[in-house]
Structures are given as C-alpha cells and as structure tokens.
Amino acid sequence: MQIEHQVSLRSFNTFGMDATASRFVRCGSVDSILELLHAPIAGNLLVLGGGSNILFTRNVEGVVLKNEIRGIDIIDSDDEFVRVRTGAGENWHQLVCFCVEQGFAGMENLSLIPGNTGASPIQNIGAYGVELKDIFDSLEAVHIGEKSLHTFLAADCGFGYRESVFKSRYRNQFIITSVTFRLRKNPVFHTEYGPIRQELERMAVKELSIRAIAQAVINIRSSKLPDPSVIGNAGSFFKNPVVDHQQFVQIRSSYPDVVSFPAPDEKFKLAAAWLIEQCGWRGYRRGDAGCHEKQALVLVNYGNARGAEIRDLANEIVASVFRKFGVQLETEVNIY
Ligand code: FAD
Ligand code: NAP
C-alpha cells in the first residue's frame, strides 16, 4: 500500500477545487481496501471515484481512498438478458460505450455522465427517463466498520429519485467495490424524454438503435452542459423538487408557465432550473463562482472559485427560490 501525503485534489474533482488530502491511497482491489482499513491511518476516510459529484469546501484531514478497481466482465447471459460486472473504478461512460458496442441495451440514455461505475448506485444516477435502478442487478461493498464484503440486491439499496441507502441510512459506511448490471439483448427504446426525438430527427436516423440514442444523448449533452475540463462543475447542483397537488395548484395559479411533470403519488416534479431562472440567477457570476448561462441548475467554477463561494451562492439561490415560490431546493452534490 502506497500512501501519498499532502496531495492536491484539484485534478481529482470536476469542480476543480484546490483542496488538499493529508493522505491519499489508490486502491485497485478489495484486498488493498481491506489492507487500508486494517492500517492505523484508516480513520476519517473519504472515498473518491471520478470526483464529479462533490464540492470540496475544506481540506481532507484524513485519508482519501481513490477507488481504482478495474475490470468489465460478462458474467452470464440467456436469450433475453446479459449480466455485466464492473469494477467500481471503471469510468461510467466507457462502460456505456462498451455495452452499446456489444449491443447490450439499457444504458444508452445514460451516455456521457461523468464519474465512475462505483458511484452510480449512490445517487441512482439518471438521465432522459432512465435510472440506474432500471438496469441494476447487484453490487458488492466493503463495510468500513466490519471490514467485510457484502452483497446488495436492488431491494436492499432503497433506490429513489437521485437517492439510495448509501446517501442516507448507510452514508459513509460502505465502499462499493463492484456493480453488476442486467442489460437487454432486445432493446426497449426510451425516446419520449426531453429533446431526444428532435435530435434523432436532426440526425436523420432511419432505423432506431441503441447506438443512435447514445449518439443523440451525447450530442444534446455536449451542446448544453459545460465540459468540466473547460469550466469546473459537478452537473446539477440541486435536485428537481417534488411538491404535492395543493402546492402545485397554488404555484401554477401565480406562475402558469411553471415547468412541471407528474410524479408518483399524485405529486408534481418542478424543473429546478426553471425556478432558479425565474429568480434571475441564470448567467449570474460573482468572482469565479457562477450559475451557468445555458443551464441554471449547474453551478460553475470559472477558474479559482473557492468551495465556500460556490456553497454560499447555492445557499442564496435556495433562499431566493424559497422566498419566491415557497419551494425548498435540496442539494444533489455532496458537500465536503
Ligand atoms: P464522486 O464525485 O467521486 O463521489 C460522489 C459521492 O459518492 C461521494 O460522496 C463519494 O464519497 C461517494 N463515492 C464515490 N465512489 C464510491 C464508492 N466506490 N463507494 C462508496 N462511496 C463512493 N448525475 C446524474 O445522476 N445524471 C446526470 O445526467 C449527470 N450529469 C452530470 C453532468 C456533468 C457535467 C457532471 C459534472 C456531473 C453529472 N452528474 C450526473 C453527477 C455525477 O456525474 C454522478 O453523480 C456520478 O455518478 C458521480 O460519480 P463519481 O465517480 O464522480 O463520484
Ligand atoms: P431538460 O431536458 O432541459 O429538462 C429539464 C428537466 O425536466 C429535467 O431536469 C428533467 O427531469 C425534466 N424532464 C424533461 N422531460 C421530462 C419528461 N418527459 N418527464 C419527466 N421529466 C422530464 O434537462 P437537462 O438539464 O438538459 O438534463 C437532461 C437529462 O440529463 C435530465 O434527465 C437530467 O436529470 C440529466 N442531467 C443530470 C445532471 C445531474 O448532475 N444530475 C446533469 C445534467 C443532466 P429529471 O432531471 O428528473 O430527469
């Protein structure tokens, strides 16, 4: 086990925050994780994947465990399904590309999401009408306290809208080491969401395929979202809020254009980006911290913003949305 000291985390988080880790350990196997957990330095541990859903507001006075477990394996298949197991340190989009290439369907709408496969169950990543839970089979994770490996099936993970037990009940208790996906050999296409159909038309796609959908999603995302290698960001900073029918009717009576979608249990999901825009934040910049000009849900670091500046801006946005609409925005990004 190689321990690095006083490591800058700037290149390890897509916000580009310049926090320092007192200690930094790369783990490429379950055994190396167990070795680290048995070592005296193991207290105050932060697990890091691709760093695309985290905002550092301070240094890490402990150990950053960089999960680098690799491997993509087809473990079994029948006429309908194939199961693919990945090491937690595999890049998410590379896995999607591999599956699309093999003709394994289900992940195509989740193309170009940054980060690693190990973090994908943590917030049940989702985009364009598909969530990780739709293709999830199981995962393996090391319990930090017990130093033992556990298997979780979907029913154990408490998947919800950008939620799982790993963000709530088991927060910071497990290190995910592998994730297994169950993908279809005969695709079921999801094109009803957002601008996918328009993009497929623009691409003049004659025969729908998972490859075409993946490309459409890649095109849309590339045209709309800031590339973290150019402008630091962690994607959507807030979740889309879900309100009950009564509150929805109240908001719509004052704001008939409110962007909303029906949600389970007769509730309504409001587009957080629209709420933020209505409060005048889209394109706002203070120093190097800002609210992206094309997508108000994305807070950005134009260069040398500090984590605390992004956090303060986020707090102001939350307060103004609450004042105007009476809706409480929740943060999606993990603030450290
Ligand atoms: P990290 O940022 O490294 O970690 C996130 C959290 O998970 C941290 O709390 C970390 O401690 C913990 N963690 C990471 N790995 C493990 C592990 N192996 N075991 C235990 N805990 C772990 N998200 C979506 O859902 N949909 C999108 O469409 C989407 N688009 C995005 C677009 C952009 C431009 C960006 C920058 C982000 C986007 N995201 C999106 C957010 C982000 O990409 C996902 O949440 C992704 O799954 C995070 O993966 P990561 O490896 O970077 O996690
Ligand atoms: P968009 O297409 O402009 O749509 C705005 C919002 O409306 C989205 O947040 C989406 O909710 C919702 N929406 C659109 N069509 C919908 C439908 N048919 N049914 C229900 N809800 C619908 O959104 P965008 O910002 O460009 O993002 C496109 C997709 O990528 C979204 O699914 C979004 O979640 C995902 N994305 C996520 C992140 C992240 O960091 N989490 C970053 C970028 C993009 P949902 O968000 O609930 O899907």
Model confidence over 105-128: pLDDT tens digits?
A: 999 999 999 999 999 999 999 999
The average pLDDT across 6-27 equals 97
pLDDT at residue 44, as a whole number: 87
C-alpha 235 to ligand 2 mean position (Å): 11
Name 136's bridge partners.
181
- Would you say residue 81 has pLDDT above 90? yes
From the list 169, 147, 151, the residue with the least C-alpha distance to 159 is 169
pLDDT at residue 40, as a whole number: 84
- Residue 145: pLDDT band (50, 70, 90) is very high
The average pLDDT across 307-327 equals 98
The average pLDDT across 243-258 equals 97
C-alpha 308 to ligand 2 mean position (Å): 26
Which residue among 111, 120, 240 is best mutated to probe the pocket of ligand 2, counting the most ligand atoms within 8 A of its Cβ?
240
The structure tokens listed for 64 are: 């950053």
For the entire predicted model, the pTM comes to 0.96
Which is the closest atom of ligand 1 to the Cα of 48?
3
Q: Has 140 been annotated as catalytic?
A: no
- Residue 43: pLDDT band (50, 70, 90) is confident
Residues 6+ apart with CB under 8 A from 244: 266, 267, 268
- Tell me what the pLDDT averaged over the chain comes to: 96
Which residue owns the Cα nearest ligand 2 atom 15?
A: 194
C-alpha 25 to ligand 2 mean position (Å): 35
* Number of Cα atoms under 13 Å in the Cβ half of residue 51: 23
- Would you say residue 55 has pLDDT above 80? yes
Rg from Cα positions in the chain: 20
Ligand nearest to the CA of 276: 2
Q: What is the pLDDT of residues 175-219, one digit of tens each?
A: 999 999 999 999 999 999 879 999 999 999 999 999 999 999 999
- Residue 41: pLDDT band (50, 70, 90) is confident
224 lines ligand 2 (CB under 6 A): yes
The average pLDDT across 326-332 equals 97
Ligand nearest to the CA of 219: 2
Q: Has 26 been annotated as catalytic?
A: no
Name 105's bridge partners.
184
Which residue owns the Cα nearest ligand 2 atom 9?
A: 271
Question: Order of strands across the sheet with 267-270?
Answer: 242-243, 267-270, 260-263
Residues 6+ apart with CB under 8 A from 52: 13, 14, 114, 115, 228, 234, 235
Which is the closest atom of ligand 2 to the Cα of 195?
2
| Pairwise CA distance, residues 143 & 150, whole Å | 7
pLDDT at residue 228, as a whole number: 95
- The torsion angles phi and psi of 190, rounded to 5 degrees, stand at -120, 100
- Would you say residue 42 has pLDDT above 80? no
DSSP 3-state of 161 = coil
Ligand nearest to the CA of 110: 1
pLDDT at residue 309, as a whole number: 98
One of 162, 182, 282, 311 is an active-site residue; which one? 162
- DSSP states of 210-257 as a string? HHHHHHHHHHHHHHHSPPTTTSEEEEESBPPPEE-HHHHHHHHHH-TT
Q: Has 332 been annotated as catalytic?
A: yes
Output the CA–CA distances (angstroms, integers) from residue 269 to 222, 242, 314, 319, in the order listed. 25, 4, 20, 19
**Cβ contact 67:141 at 8 Å:** no
- Residue 33: pLDDT band (50, 70, 90) is very high
